[in-house]
């Protein structure tokens, strides 16, 4: 491979940094990812390889270019500390002994330790002005937008008869997602064919960083207050802090446990550890605090945590059960995941029958066989993990075979260099088809307006589509299709027309549409500049591919493996035979249309043919604006299934209301080629 010059490396570095920043933004702001961890690591590894070859380029990295540092941070009035933790009974008792020596007799309050995200609510002259994350303890990110989704947070403090309204107050507490809401959110993810969220705490902390209020609302965030930071006034004890919070209508812990003895506190902890799964919020321990605030002040804090409180954390629950079988599931990108089927057991408040094994290497690492007894652990995650095998309980066991073929379509599995996962590479694999098609038709790929997840599901169920290439033969079933419930000529004909239009999309879109692992939109654009057709691309020698910017050895292998699969080859050849006449270059410029130009749209409810993001992208491409809230400025409200309160508000304000059909018609009318 020819050595790049420093200028080429600099250019490449710039692209890599942009890509990494894009994926970081998705990951940290929206808790989602368009690429696998492996693909992300490939990008980072390439950056490191460039630094190694050209160390001077390292210094050119812009400090703070990372988006994580780019979000506005604002100072807390009083620093937000963390708590000293312990898992040991001895350390818990030693904490009490230390305090007795320093302050003599003392009273404790005992509270659950909520497993969520710490938030600081700032009130000025009685008004709630902002919400901050803990951040580095001194300053946190401004997350007011997302926290506004929590209806139980008071916007206004009340002047209480017993005390004056403080001019400045910081209310501290946890944002969390309840067990029940978390389970429901994951069920919805599964129904849409999406990966489940791994645990409620991470989902809560990712959700508070979202900027889209509608999206945050779906996450059902809740808040519970457990203390104050800055407070213009006097509250003598933690007990009175809690009373004040309750009088101000903040959600607080239901019972207040006060005790003078550490022995009693320990008994209460033991009791609570049995009860905790019946509480609405997730907990990972208990916090014991000195009640008297004067004593708290006297004890002070270290740089990290107060000396007047300690958290006793529950060890993650474990239980033993037997492995009955292992099956292999095919994910939406073809990744094969082994799933352990277990003899049902009760663990951390739920009945467990399955556990993920991540990948086949994990089975080998554990030395796992069918029939083995295993230790299961559940530490906040929905899906429990198998910690280890119990060798003493092994009797009759059967080894687990590494799969060589896809359990759904029987294609030969592949393993990309450096990747642990086995993948089914087939474009026709039914397990992947609906998600591949959704991507194929998406705005960033072939942009087929009206071909949303529900229509795709229906076409697959009816057996009209087995591969992405079958999309282009749907004209032949038009007459049956328009008779089907929920369709009709007014829906089907424009869709067939949109599919026809897709044939002339730029080659870069076609490459992107194929969902080749490691090949995103940017890489596809570079490839389209170097090759004139899909066939030319797939037959290109390695050296030619490596000359393309953004294409490194990982991507080359990915392209070649994709085409080595015979079904993929057949699909690509069929697509080529459709006489795709891609436009040479893509113009991404906004098309201006009077129905959309500078008009303000608000979306409510679920659309059936478009995702919210797709609808927004189409409207914006035509010069329109998509806003979150209905206001006097709103021009049009687009209403899907189960609309929210926005509908009444728009009706009251006399704003134009469109259904999905009207939106699609207007989009087609404004941009007949789009
Ligand atoms: S009191 C000076 N009480 O746990 C810190 N914290 O590592 C005083 N937490 O960031 C915190 N439940 O957000 C307190 N009942 C509770 C809590 C609690 C959860 C969080 C808190 C803090 C972390 C400590």
Q: Write the pLDDT tens digit of every residue in 573-601.
A: 999 887 565 544 444 455 668 888 888 89
Q: Give the pLDDT of residue 68.
A: 33
Do 483 and 516 fall into the same domain?
yes
Length of the chain: 674
Q: Give the pLDDT of residue 26.
A: 63
More confident residue, 143 or 517: 143
Do 376 and 234 fall into the same domain?
no
Q: Give the pLDDT of residue 249.
A: 95
Burial degree of 130 (CB within 10 A; 0-12, 13-18, 19+): middle
- Decide: 338 and 357 in contact? Cβ < 8 Å: yes
Do 515 and 632 fall into the same domain?
no
118 pocket-lining for ligand 1 (C-beta < 6 Å):
yes
The helix or strand, by DSSP H or E, that contains position 215, with its residue range, turns out to be: helix 213-218
pLDDT band at 657 (very low <50, low <70, confident <90, very high): very high
Check which CATH number belongs to the domain holding 538 and give it. 1.10.150.20
Which residue's alpha carbon is nearest to atom 9 within ligand 1?
A: 113
State which of 76, 78, 113, 276 you would mutate to test the pocket of ligand 1, scoring each by most atoms of that ligand within 8 A of its C-beta: 113
177 pocket-lining for ligand 1 (C-beta < 6 Å):
no
Q: Which residue, 285, 313, 341, sits at the end of a domain?
A: 313
Do 211 and 167 fall into the same domain?
yes
Do 184 and 251 fall into the same domain?
yes
Q: Give the pLDDT of residue 60.
A: 46
Burial degree of 584 (CB within 10 A; 0-12, 13-18, 19+): exposed
pLDDT tens-digit map of 184-198: 898 887 776 666 777
482-514 as b/e: b if 16+ CB within 10 A: eeeeeeeeebbebbbebbebbeebbbbbbbbbb
552 pocket-lining for ligand 1 (C-beta < 6 Å):
no
The rounded Å distance from CA 464 to ligand 1 centre is: 56
Which position among 58, 89, 113, 378 bears the catalytic label?
113
CA separation for the pair 178, 221 (Å, rounded):
8
* Beta strand pairing call for 108-114 and 350-356: unpaired
CA separation for the pair 264, 470 (Å, rounded):
70
Mean predicted lDDT score pLDDT of the chain: 85
- Which DSSP letter does residue 195 get? P
pLDDT band at 386 (very low <50, low <70, confident <90, very high): very high
Indicate whether 419 belongs to any domain.
no
pLDDT tens-digit map of 72-129: 689 999 999 999 989 889 999 999 999 999 999 999 999 999 999 999 999 999 999 9
| Residue 125 Rama label (left phi>0; alpha psi -120 to 50; beta) | left
Atom nearest to 112 CA in ligand 1 = 15
Residues 439-449, mean pLDDT to the nearest whole number: 89
Q: Smallest Cα–Cα separation from 191: which of 543, 434, 524? A: 434
The rounded Å distance from CA 232 to ligand 1 centre is: 21
Q: Smallest Cα–Cα separation from 342: which of 393, 402, 386? A: 386
CA separation for the pair 215, 206 (Å, rounded):
12
226 pocket-lining for ligand 1 (C-beta < 6 Å):
yes
Number of domains within the chain: 5
pLDDT band at 424 (very low <50, low <70, confident <90, very high): very high
Burial degree of 551 (CB within 10 A; 0-12, 13-18, 19+): buried
Residues 425-450, mean pLDDT to the nearest whole number: 87
CA separation for the pair 454, 71 (Å, rounded):
36
Q: Give the pLDDT of residue 48.
A: 78
Which residue's alpha carbon is nearest to atom 16 within ligand 1?
A: 113
* Residue whose tokens read 């003895």: 261
Asked if the model's pLDDT at residue 457 lies above 80, the reply is: yes
- Which DSSP letter does residue 405 get? B
The rounded Å distance from CA 83 to ligand 1 centre is: 6
Indicate whether 639 belongs to any domain.
yes
CA separation for the pair 272, 576 (Å, rounded):
65
Q: Give the pLDDT of residue 106.
A: 95
Asked if the model's pLDDT at residue 461 lies above 70, the reply is: yes
Residues 621-643, mean pLDDT to the nearest whole number: 86
Indicate whether 338 belongs to any domain.
yes
pLDDT band at 139 (very low <50, low <70, confident <90, very high): very high
The rounded Å distance from CA 14 to ligand 1 centre is: 41
378 pocket-lining for ligand 1 (C-beta < 6 Å):
no
83 pocket-lining for ligand 1 (C-beta < 6 Å):
yes
pLDDT tens-digit map of 233-244: 889 999 999 999
Which residue's alpha carbon is nearest to atom 14 within ligand 1?
A: 226
Residues 161-190, mean pLDDT to the nearest whole number: 88
| 641: β partners | 606
Q: Of 8-22, 123-137, 508-522, 557-571, which range is least confident?
A: 8-22
Do 504 and 471 fall into the same domain?
yes
pLDDT tens-digit map of 476-511: 999 999 999 889 899 999 999 999 999 889 999 999
Do 462 and 502 fall into the same domain?
yes
Q: Which residue, 516, 544, 577, sits at the end of a domain?
A: 577
Check which CATH number belongs to the domain holding 37 and give it. 1.10.287.610
Displacement of CA 356 from its chain's centroid (Å): 19
Which residue's alpha carbon is nearest to atom 17 within ligand 1?
A: 113
CA separation for the pair 57, 51 (Å, rounded):
6
- Decide: 139 and 75 in contact? Cβ < 8 Å: yes
Indicate whether 146 belongs to any domain.
yes
Check which CATH number belongs to the domain holding 327 and give it. 2.40.50.140
Do 639 and 555 fall into the same domain?
no
Check which CATH number belongs to the domain holding 607 and give it. 3.40.50.10190
Indicate whether 585 belongs to any domain.
no
pLDDT band at 1 (very low <50, low <70, confident <90, very high): very low
**Percent of the chain topping pLDDT 70:** 89
| Strand ranges in 191-254 using DSSP code E only, listed in sequence order | 222-231
The helix or strand, by DSSP H or E, that contains position 328, with its residue range, turns out to be: strand 317-330
Indicate whether 152 belongs to any domain.
yes
The rounded Å distance from CA 281 to ligand 1 centre is: 14
The rounded Å distance from CA 81 to ligand 1 centre is: 8
Residues 260-265, mean pLDDT to the nearest whole number: 94
Do 558 and 501 fall into the same domain?
yes
- Decide: 138 and 79 in contact? Cβ < 8 Å: yes
Q: Give the pLDDT of residue 495.
A: 95
Is 113 a catalytic site residue?
yes
Which residue's alpha carbon is nearest to atom 22 within ligand 1?
A: 82
- Decide: 221 and 251 in contact? Cβ < 8 Å: no
Do 302 and 327 fall into the same domain?
no
448 pocket-lining for ligand 1 (C-beta < 6 Å):
no
Residues 162-181, mean pLDDT to the nearest whole number: 90
| 335: β partners | 423
CA separation for the pair 186, 540 (Å, rounded):
43
Q: Which residue, 265, 284, 313, sits at the end of a domain?
A: 313
Residues 300-320, mean pLDDT to the nearest whole number: 90
Do 93 and 108 fall into the same domain?
yes
Q: Of 27-36, 183-192, 209-218, which range is least confident?
A: 27-36
Do 538 and 660 fall into the same domain?
no
Indicate whether 148 belongs to any domain.
yes
Q: Give the pLDDT of residue 59.
A: 54
Q: Which domain holds residue 26?
A: 6-70
The rounded Å distance from CA 228 to ligand 1 centre is: 11
- Decide: 313 and 113 in contact? Cβ < 8 Å: yes
Atom nearest to 119 CA in ligand 1 = 13
Cα angle vertex 512, ends 510, 515, to 5°? 110
SS (H, E, C) 250-276: CCCCCCCEEECCHHHHHHHHHHHHHHH
Indicate whether 483 belongs to any domain.
yes
Q: What is the pTM of this model?
A: 0.57
Atom nearest to 253 CA in ligand 1 = 15
Q: Give the pLDDT of residue 673.
A: 54
């Amino acid at each position: 491979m020819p050595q790049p010059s420093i200028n080429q490396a600099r250019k490449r570095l710039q692209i890599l940094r942009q890509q990494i920043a894009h994926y970081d933004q998705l990951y940290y702001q929206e808790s989602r990812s368009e690429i696998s961890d492996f693909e992300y690591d490939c990008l980072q590894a390439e950056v490191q390889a460039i630094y190694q070859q050209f160390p001077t380029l390292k210094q050119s990295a812009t400090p703070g270019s990372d988006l994580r540092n780019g979000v506005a941070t604002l100072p807390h009035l009083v620093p937000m500390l963390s708590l000293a933790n312990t898992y040991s009974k001895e350390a818990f008792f030693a904490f009490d002994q230390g305090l007795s020596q320093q302050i003599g007799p003392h009273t404790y309050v005992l509270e659950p330790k909520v497993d969520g995200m710490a938030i600081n609510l700032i009130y000025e002259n009685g008004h709630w002005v902002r919400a901050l994350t803990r951040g580095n303890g001194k300053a946190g990110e401004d997350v007011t937008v997302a926290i506004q989704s929590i209806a139980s947070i008071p916007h206004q403090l009340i002047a209480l008869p017993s005390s004056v309204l403080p001019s400045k107050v910081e209310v501290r507490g946890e944002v969390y997602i309840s067990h029940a809401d978390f389970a429901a959110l994951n069920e919805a993810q599964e129904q849409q064919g999406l990966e489940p969220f791994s645990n409620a705490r991470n989902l809560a902390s990712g959700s508070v960083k979202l900027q889209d209020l509608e999206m945050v609302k779906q996450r059902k965030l809740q808040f519970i207050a457990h203390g104050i930071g800055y407070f213009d006034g006097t509250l003598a004890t933690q007990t009175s802090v809690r009373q004040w919070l309750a009088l101000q209508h903040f959600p607080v812990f239901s019972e207040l446990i006060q005790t003078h003895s550490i022995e009693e506190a320990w008994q209460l902890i033991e009791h609570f550890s049995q009860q905790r799964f019946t509480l609405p919020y997730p907990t990972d321990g208990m916090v014991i605090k000195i009640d008297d605030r004067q004593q708290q002040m006297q004890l002070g804090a270290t740089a990290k945590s107060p000396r007047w409180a300690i958290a006793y954390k529950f060890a993650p629950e474990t239980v033993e059960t037997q492995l009955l079988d292992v099956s292999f599931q095919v994910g939406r990108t073809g990744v094969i995941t082994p799933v352990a089927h277990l003899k049902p057991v009760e663990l951390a408040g739920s009945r467990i029958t399955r556990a993920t094994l991540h990948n086949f290497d994990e089975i080998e690492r554990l030395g796992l066989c069918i029939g083995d007894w295993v230790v299961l652990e559940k530490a906040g995650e929905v899906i429990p993990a198998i910690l280890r095998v119990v060798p003493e309980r092994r009797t009759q066991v059967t080894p687990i075979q590494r799969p060589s073929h896809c359990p759904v379509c029987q294609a030969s599995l592949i393993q990309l260099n450096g990747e642990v996962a086995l993948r089914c590479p087939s474009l026709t694999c039914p397990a992947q088809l609906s998600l591949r098609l959704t991507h194929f038709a998406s705005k960033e790929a072939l942009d087929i307006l009206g071909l949303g997840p529900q229509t795709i599901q229906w076409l697959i169920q009816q057996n009209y589509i087995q591969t992405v290439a079958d999309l282009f033969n749907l004209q032949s079933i038009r007459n049956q299709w328009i008779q089907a419930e929920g369709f009709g000529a007014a829906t089907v004909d424009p869709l067939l027309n949109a599919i026809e239009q897709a044939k002339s999309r730029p080659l870069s879109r076609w490459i992107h549409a194929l969902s080749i692992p490691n090949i995103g939109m940017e890489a596809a654009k570079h490839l389209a500049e170097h090759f004139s057709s899909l066939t030319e691309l797939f037959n290109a020698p390695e050296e030619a591919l490596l000359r393309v910017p953004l294409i490194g050895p990982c991507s080359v292998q990915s392209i070649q493996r994709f085409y080595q699969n015979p079904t993929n080859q057949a699909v690509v050849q069929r697509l080529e035979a459709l006489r795709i006449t891609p436009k040479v270059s893509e113009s991404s410029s906004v098309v201006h249309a009077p129905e959309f130009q500078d008009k303000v749209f608000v979306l409510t409810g679920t659309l059936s043919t478009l995702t919210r993001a797709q609808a927004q992208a189409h409207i914006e491409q035509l010069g329109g604006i998509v806003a979150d809230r209905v206001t006097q400025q709103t021009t049009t409200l687009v209403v899907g299934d189960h609309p929210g309160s926005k509908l009444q508000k728009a009706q009251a304000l006399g704003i134009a209301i469109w259904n999905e059909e009207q939106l699609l018609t207007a989009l087609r009318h404004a941009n007949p080629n789009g």
